[in-house]
C-alpha cells in the first residue's frame, strides 16, 4: 500500500493552508479532493472579502484561492483532484475513489478539512425543480455561468443569502424577495444595503410555507411568523421560478467519525463537531481538523486553523522543534483571537473554548494518548 507522511482531505482554504505550512517545514504532503477544481468554496466567491487587511479584506475570494494554489505548487505539494475519500480507518488507512477504481493508502498523519454541508428546509413543494440551496445557485452562476432561474425568492438573510442574492442580480435574475424568519436581517448592513438600493423587498418575521407548481416552481407562498409560529390569514403569494435556501451550514464530520474521533454537539459552531484541542488535534492522536469541519466560520478562520493544524502535524512528525512550533502557534492564535472578536466572533470563541474543555475532559478520562 502506498504510504504518505501527511494526507489532507479537502483542498479548500483550510486544507491548502495546512498543506503549505507543513510542506514549508519539510513534510511530504498529499492533498486529496473530490472536486475537479481545488479551492473549495473560494472559487465561487467573486465578491471582495470583508474583515481586516491581514485577512485579505478587499480581495476577491477566487484570487485568494489562486494565491494558495500557486504556493502549494511552488512547494511541491501533491494535489489529487476528482478523488472522493470514502473512508478512513482509525489506524490511518484511507480508502478513496479514482478513475482506476477504489484505491488505498496509508497516512502517518491526517488533516481533515472537508468543510460543511448546506442546510435545507422541508415545506410543501420543496422537492420541485427550482428549489435549491444558495450555494448551488452560486455554483451555477459563478462557475458554470448558467442562471438557475429568472425570478428568485431567497430564504435567509445571513451573509450567504445576501451575497448570493446580489450575485444573482448581477447575473441578470430578479430577486423577488429575501425572506427571514427572525425579526432582523442576519448579515452585514453593507450587503443588505446593496439589495435595498436595488429595490429588493425584505420580508422579516416571514417564512416559505409552500412552493407551488406542477412540474416546476411557479409561485411561492409566504406566511408571517409570530415568534417563529405561522399566523393564519397572513399568507401571500409571490410569482417566482426559483427558491434558494441560505439557512445555515452543518460541519461535514462523517470521515472524522469513521476514523474514531469523538464528536460533540455545539450550537454555536453549527452542529456536531469533532472534539479538538488548542492545536486542532482530535481524540484520534494522528488526526487533526481545520476549517468549517471544526465549526462553521469563515474562509479567514479556515486558513488560520489550517496553518495551525499544519504546524502541529509537522511538529508531531519531528519537522519543527517544540519551542519554534509553540512560537508559531501562538502567533496564529493571536490572529484567530482577532477574527473571533466582535459580536458574532465572540460567540464562536466561547463555543471553541467549550470544545477544548470537552477535549480536556476526555483526556483526563484516559481516552486520548
Ligand atoms: C456565499 C458565501 C460567501 C462567503 N463569503 C465569505 C467572506 O466574504 N469572507 C470569508 O472569510 N468567508 C466567506 N465565506 C465562507 C467560506 O467560504 C468558508 O468558511 C470556507 O470556504 C471554509 O473553508 P474549508 O476549507 O473549511 O471548506 P471548503 O471551502 O468547503 O472546502 C472543503 C473541500 O473538501 C472537499 N471534500 C469534502 N469531503 C470530501 C471527501 N470525502 N473526499 C474528498 N474531498 C472532500 C470538498 O470538495 C471541498 O473542496 C462565504 C461562504 C459562502 C457560501
Give pLDDT, residue 40.
Answer: 87
For residues 201, 202, 203 and 205, what is the CA-based torsion angle, rounded to 10 degrees?
-170
Cα 233 to ligand 1 centroid, rounded to whole Å: 40
Instruction: Determine contact, residues 47/24, Cβ cutoff 8 Å.
Output: no
Selection from 34, 25, 59 nearest residue 300 by Cα: 59
What separation in Å is there between the alpha carbon of 129 and the centre of ligand 1? 25
For residue 115, how far is its CA from the centre of ligand 1 (angstroms)?
A: 5
> Given ligand 1 and candidates 114, 269, 348, which is best to mutate, with the most ligand atoms within 8 Å of its CB?
114
- Confirm or reject CATH 3.50.50.60 for domain 120-245, answering yes or no: yes
Cell numbers given for 340: 473571533
Using CA atoms, how far apart are residues 352 and 355, in angstroms rounded to an integer? 5
Element (H, E) at 163: helix 159-171
Please report the pLDDT score of residue 66 as a whole number.
87
Distance CA 274, CA 287 (A): 10
* pLDDT for 11: 95
Tell me how far apart the alpha carbons of residues 128 and 214 are, in angstroms, rounded to a whole number: 8
Rounded distance from Cα 232 to ligand 1 centre (Å): 39
Q: Where are the beta strands (DSSP E) in 59-192?
A: 78-81, 85-88, 93-98, 101-112, 116-118, 131-133, 151-155, 174-180
DSSP conformation letters of 210-274: EEE-SSS--EEEEEEEETTEE-TT--EEEE-SEEEE---EEE--HHHHHTT--EEEEGGGTEEEE
In terms of pTM, does the model score above 0.85?
yes
Taking the CA of residue 138 as reference, the ligand 1 atom at the shortest distance is 1
Q: What is the CATH number of domain 2-117+249-364?
A: 3.50.50.60
Instruction: Judge whether 2-117+249-364 and 120-245 match in fold.
Output: yes
User: SS3 for 109?
Assistant: strand
Best mutation site among 34, 49, 166, 299 for ligand 1 pocket (most ligand atoms within 8 Å of CB): 299
Measured N-to-C along each axis, helices 159-171 and 134-142 cross at an angle, to the nearest 10 degrees, of 40
Ligand 1 pocket (Cβ < 6 Å) reads 9-15, 32-35, 40-42, 45, 49-50, 84-85, 113-115, 135, 138, 160, 163-164, 252, 255, 291-292, 297-300, 302
CB-CB contact of 329 with 38 (8 Å) = no
Quote the pLDDT of residue 347.
85
In this structure, are strands 271-274 and 85-88 parallel, antiparallel, or unpaired? unpaired
Q: How far is the CA of 15 from the centre of ligand 1 (A)?
A: 10
**The ligand 1 atom nearest the CA atom of 292:** 26
Domain spans, the chain: 2-117+249-364, 120-245
pLDDT of residue 367: 62
- The pLDDT averaged over each successive group of 10 residues in the chain (369 residues) is 96 97 98 90 78 72 88 95 95 94 97 97 97 96 95 97 96 98 94 97 98 98 96 97 97 97 93 96 97 94 97 98 98 93 82 89 74
Amino acid at each position: 500500500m502506498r504510504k504518505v507522511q501527511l494526507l489532507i482531505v479537502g483542498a479548500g482554504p483550510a486544507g491548502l493552508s495546512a498543506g503549505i505550512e507543513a510542506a514549508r517545514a519539510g513534510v511530504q504532503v498529499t492533498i486529496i479532493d473530490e472536486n475537479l477544481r481545488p479551492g473549495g468554496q473560494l472559487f465561487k466567491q467573486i465578491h471582495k472579502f470583508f474583515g481586516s487587511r491581514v485577512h485579505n479584506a478587499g480581495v476577491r475570494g477566487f484570487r485568494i484561492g489562486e494565491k494558495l494554489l500557486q504556493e502549494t505548487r511552488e512547494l511541491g505539494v501533491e494535489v489529487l483532484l476528482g478523488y472522493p475519500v470514502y473512508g478512513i480507518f482509525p489506524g490511518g488507512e484511507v480508502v478513496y475513489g479514482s478513475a482506476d477504481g477504489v484505491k488505498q493508502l496509508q497516512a502517518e498523519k491526517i488533516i481533515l478539512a472537508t468543510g460543511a454541508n448546506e442546510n435545507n428546509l422541508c415545506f410543501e413543494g420543496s422537492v420541485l425543480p427550482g428549489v435549491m440551496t444558495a450555494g448551488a445557485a452560486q455554483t451555477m452562476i459563478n462557475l458554470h455561468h448558467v442562471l438557475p432561474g429568472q425570478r428568485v425568492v431567497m430564504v435567509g438573510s445571513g451573509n450567504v443569502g445576501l451575497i448570493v442574492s446580489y450575485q444573482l442580480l448581477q447575473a441578470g435574475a430578479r430577486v423577488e424577495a429575501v425572506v427571514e424568519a427572525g425579526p432582523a436581517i442576519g448579515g452585514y448592513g453593507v450587503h443588505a444595503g446593496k439589495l435595498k438600493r436595488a429595490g429588493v423587498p425584505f420580508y422579516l418575521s416571514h417564512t416559505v410555507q409552500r412552493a407551488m407548481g406542477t412540474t416546476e416552481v411557479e409561485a411561492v407562498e409566504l406566511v408571517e411568523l409570530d415568534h417563529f409560529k405561522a399566523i393564519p390569514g397572513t399568507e401571500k403569494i409571490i410569482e417566482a421560478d426559483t427558491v434558494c435556501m441560505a439557512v445555515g451550514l452543518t460541519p461535514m464530520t462523517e470521515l472524522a467519525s469513521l476514523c474514531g474521533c469523538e464528536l460533540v454537539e455545539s450550537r454555536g459552531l453549527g452542529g456536531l463537531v469533532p472534539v479538538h484541542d488548542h492545536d486542532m488535534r482530535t481524540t484520534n492522536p494522528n488526526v487533526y481538523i481545520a476549517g468549517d469541519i471544526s465549526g462553521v466560520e469563515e474562509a479567514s478562520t479556515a486558513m488560520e486553523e489550517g496553518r495551525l493544524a499544519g504546524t502541529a502535524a509537522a511538529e508531531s512528525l519531528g519537522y519543527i522543534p517544540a519551542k519554534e512550533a509553540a512560537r508559531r502557534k501562538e502567533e496564529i492564535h493571536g490572529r484567530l483571537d482577532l477574527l473571533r472578536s466582535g459580536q458574532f466572533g465572540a460567540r464562536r470563541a466561547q463555543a471553541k473554548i467549550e470544545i477544548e474543555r470537552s477535549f480536556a475532559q476526555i483526556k483526563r478520562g484516559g481516552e486520548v494518548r
